[in-house]
Amino acid sequence: MSERLQPGDVAPAFTLPDADGHEVSLADHKGRKVIVYFYPAALTPGCTKQACDFTDNLDLLADAGYDVIGISPDTPEKLSRFREKESLKVTLLADPDKKVTEAYAAYGEKKNYGKTYMGVIRSTIVVDEAGKVSHAFYNVRATGHVAKIIKDLGI
């Protein structure tokens, strides 16, 4: 398991397929601020709420200079279904082997109903124009998280 990222750390580079199978890299966004959020699974209630919140606030975030990328262990095909079903506008990337999720310390031990297991830790990393971490939020809630990010970023 990777150490949690801290402000000032260089954001780990990545290239992953999007919902259409096209490769998307963090480097594609150089010179822009990027909100990279990690979520456990497409088409589940909490992840749907979070993705819809990001979509609903995408114009506000874009106007403030932020791109939004959601990453989950799902396949591009499942992400495509998720995007179509929920009319999502955020970029969704597939990380089925969880290499990027682990590099961002968004995969690890979780507890739910008294059971401990390994899984995706709902997390959001904000990367600045130079590719460094400006904010790192771990163990976030799906509901209300986007509003908190907007407030914390002063948008």
Two structure tokens written together for 84:
């179509």
Buried-state track 47-83, b at ≥16 Cβ within 10 A, e below 16: bbbbbbbbbebbeebeeeebbbbbbbbbebebbbebb
The identity of residue 87, as a single letter, is S
Give catalytic residue positions: 47
In whole angstroms, what is the distance from residue 97 CA to residue 51 CA? 21
Q: How big is the CA angle at 38 (ends 16 and 97), to the nearest 5 degrees?
A: 45
